[in-house]
């Protein structure tokens, strides 16, 4: 089956993005990504996202090989539609490794031990517990420490 692409129609939809309100752009973001956009995101990025989603719908998205390369390149998020990250791709921390994180001007050092992590003289089973201890909020430990 061949898809007929009307370039003029795509262009009209993209040009119409300029007239959308911020709340309409946010609604489009939520429809595409399934969650609210990051706090403080600029209108310009919301417009780019909306334009990209129009193009993907009409022309198709990135090839699987390109999505894999982008996911491997160290980006924090995953490209929508990509294969789930397997546990073998996750970074493993060896006993003896040291994690250092600066938070509000104070440096926090965490040592990786055989049965978990050591921070401030105490042993913890997860990095998330330590991140919560440092920030007072619920954080993903690996994300907080940049893993």
pLDDT at 46: 94
* Domain residue spans of the chain: 7-72, 98-144
Element containing residue 144 per DSSP (H, E): helix 141-144
- pLDDT 10s digits, 8-51: 888 999 999 999 999 999 999 999 989 999 988 999 999 999 99
Residue 5 has pLDDT above 80, yes or no: no
pLDDT digits (tens, 9 = 90+) for 43-91: 999 999 999 998 888 888 888 888 888 888 765 555 555 444 444 334 6
Give the mean model confidence (pLDDT) for residues 1-14: 77
Kindly compute the dihedral angle of the four CA atoms of residues 86, 88, 91, 96, in this order, to the nearest 10 degrees. Answer: 150
């Amino acid at each position: 089956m061949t898809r007929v692409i009307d370039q003029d129609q795509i262009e009209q939809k993209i040009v119409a993005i300029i007239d959308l309100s911020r709340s309409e752009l946010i609604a489009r973001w939520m429809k595409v990504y399934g969650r609210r956009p990051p706090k403080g995101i600029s209108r310009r990025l919301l417009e780019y996202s909306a334009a990209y989603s129009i193009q993907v719908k009409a022309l198709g998205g990135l090839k699987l090989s390109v999505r894999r390369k982008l996911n491997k390149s160290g980006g924090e998020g995953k490209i929508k539609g990509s294969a789930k990250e397997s546990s073998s791709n996750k970074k493993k921390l060896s006993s003896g490794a040291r994690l250092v994180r600066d938070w509000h001007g104070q440096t926090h050092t965490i040592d990786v031990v055989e049965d978990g992590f050591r921070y401030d003289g105490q042993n913890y089973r997860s990095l998330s517990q330590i991140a919560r201890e440092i920030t007072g909020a619920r954080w993903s430990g690996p994300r907080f420490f940049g893993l």
